[in-house]
Structure 1
Amino acid sequence: MMEMIIAIILGIVEGLTEFLPVSSTGHLILTGYWLGFTGERAKTFEIVIQLGSILAVVVMYRKRFVDLLSPNKQQGGLSLAHLILGMIPAVVAGFLLHGLIKTYLFSPYTVVIGLVIGGVLMIVADLKQRPPTSSSLDDLTLRQAFSIGLFQCLALWPGFSRSGATISGGVLLGTNHKTAAEFSFILAVPMMVAASGYDLLKSYQYLTVSDIPLFATGFLSAFFVALLAIVTFIKFIERVRLIPFAIYRFVLALFVWMVLF
């Protein structure tokens, strides 16, 4: 029973933080650490519930994905080329550095560092924002998509936040906050399916039939909470931008440092 409660808690944490610029990986590592849910089985569980959050994006942006995959798609606007260019930098970097990242960077200490540095980037993005040249997803250029992909590489450091890196990058590159956030969400789908699928193939031996209720509970919790989080965040980011999230990251990092170190 206790493990089911842990699954619900971690599912809620994942759903709330996956698409906010606060680092879902960092929150999962810290929450799992405090709940005593660690080890290879816990890492596999985290992979599965991340797929629940990704399913929420597919549901929310289903019309956009259908359009992207349609053979009759009209010229112009967001295309598969934007997603491919946005994926390339992090895919290459992740493939080359995967072993080093898993071995050396998944700890509360490295998460604290990522929280702080990512927060600084978010503040810089808000303060240095220039007049947007892209006010919707269909205004996004291929060059912007690739450059946002370069920023996404920063998220390979746990605690940095994939959405924090990509939204900050988008704002610095001339998109408004909403466009940067929506591209971050859509770009997350192929990125996280690929990354989670790769991790799951390497970790499937830690799964047993008896784990199905636990994993299903976490998956569904993450899915439903992520649906709510996406809708709320899109409305929120247009009004408050990134600095409040950066302040939250600094407070969390300080709290973690005081408690753990």
Structure 2
Amino acid sequence: MELLTIIKAIILGMVEGLTEFAPVSSTGHMIIVDDIWLHSEKFLGSKYVANTFMVMIQLGSILAVVVVFKDRFIDLLGLRRNKIVPVGKKRLKLTHIIVGLLPAGVLGVLFEDTIDEYLFDTKYVLIGLVVGAILMIIADRYSAKNDHAQAVDEITYKQAFTVGLIQCFSLWPGFSRSGATISGGVLVGLSHRAAADFTFIMAVPIMAGASGISFIKNLEYFTMDALPFFIAGFISAFVFALICIRFFLKLIDKVKLLPFAIYRILLAVIIYIVYF
């Protein structure tokens, strides 16, 4: 595989890693970058491999979340020995994650083919960027009037399920999973940091599931020639996601969602003016 192809994989992995957990839509950015500049479908030889690559490199971002939240995942899976939790103390449980995953998980399975066929297109991504930005602005304005659960351990099952319902919007490429779920968390009474923590933790099983399903469905399209492309994208996504997550978690309670919403709208307008 040519060096230029590997460089393109690294660029797409970088875009994925830097945007997956910021509320700006990693899928939307990858579709825009790929459609307008890189055209991975041409050098990979199939739109199915290209679309699956965009899902598969999310595994690199998932690994970065696991690294950052490793202690939390150890507790959720009950792998820490002799851990004593004080009676009556609230804590995030695996069942909270499952409740939050159910709505988008069901819709994703039912409509995956339709989404892949019709919504992985730049013009629909631009619409998703703007609509998602509007939701984020509404969440920020509402948060000033809302009581906040400061830590993710304070989340209730009702809040988790409501966030899960709002996460369904993220099935629309360009809307942003983190944008939808952080906004949803803020709207139901979580602080921005607590909503971000819940978003990142909840992202691991749903992204791993989506990647696994895509891999199995498109296994026939993979070749050894494409393997270096996938590995390069995976490593790039992991490194840049690790940097982005640590930075974003320090930033989110200070700047809220508004700067990201403004960026999304400006990006959509610029792309529309230049390329349509």
Structure 2 residue 118 is matched with structure 1 residue 116: no
Note the aligned Cα RMSD (angstroms): 1.2
Matches within 5 A, 1:153-172: 153-172=168-187
| Offset of residue 42 of structure 1 | 1.4
| Offset of residue 260 of structure 1 | 2.1
User: Hey, what does 2:236 align to over in structure 1?
Assistant: 221
Aligned residues of 1:52 and 1:222 also touching (Cα < 8 A): yes
User: Hey, what does 2:215 align to over in structure 1?
Assistant: 200
Structure 2 residue 56 is matched with structure 1 residue 48: yes
Identity of aligned residues (%): 52
Q: Secondary structure at the match of 1:128?
A: helix
In the alignment, the residues of structure 2 paired with residue 20 and residue 206 of structure 1 have an alpha-carbon distance, to the nearest angstrom, of 31
Offset from partner CA, 1:185-231 (integer Å, 9 cap, x none): 00000111111111111111111112222111110000010000000
In the alignment, the residues of structure 2 paired with residue 132 and residue 36 of structure 1 have an alpha-carbon distance, to the nearest angstrom, of 46
Structure 1 stretches lacking a partner, 5+ long: none
Matches within 5 A, 1:17-166: 17-33=19-35, 34-38=37-41, 39-70=47-78, 74=85, 76-129=90-143, 130-166=145-181
| Offset of residue 24 of structure 1 | 0.4
Counterpart code for 2:67: V
In the alignment, the residues of structure 1 paired with residue 105 and residue 55 of structure 2 have an alpha-carbon distance, to the nearest angstrom, of 17
Aligned residues of 1:137 and 1:182 also touching (Cα < 8 A): yes
TM-score when scaled to structure 2?
Answer: 0.92
In the alignment, the residues of structure 1 paired with residue 24 and residue 55 of structure 2 have an alpha-carbon distance, to the nearest angstrom, of 18
User: Hey, what does 1:176 align to over in structure 2?
Assistant: 191
Counterpart code for 2:39: G
Counterpart code for 1:149: G
Offset from partner CA, 1:159-184 (integer Å, 9 cap, x none): 00000000000001000000000100
In the alignment, the residues of structure 1 paired with residue 153 and residue 271 of structure 2 have an alpha-carbon distance, to the nearest angstrom, of 40
Offset from partner CA, 1:125-178 (integer Å, 9 cap, x none): 001113333110111111111110001000011100000000000001000000
User: Hey, what does 2:44 align to over in structure 1?
Assistant: none
Q: 1:9 aligns with which of 8, 11, 18?
A: 11
Q: What is the count of residue pairs matched by the alignment?
A: 261
Offset from partner CA, 1:66-123 (integer Å, 9 cap, x none): 1000167747410011000000000111112112111111100100000000000000
Counterpart code for 1:208: T
Structure 2 stretches lacking a partner, 5+ long: 42-46
Structure 2 residue 250 is matched with structure 1 residue 235: yes
Q: Secondary structure at the match of 1:134?
A: coil
Counterpart code for 1:233: F
| Offset of residue 4 of structure 1 | 0.7
Greater Rg over alpha carbons, structure: 2
Counterpart code for 2:14: I
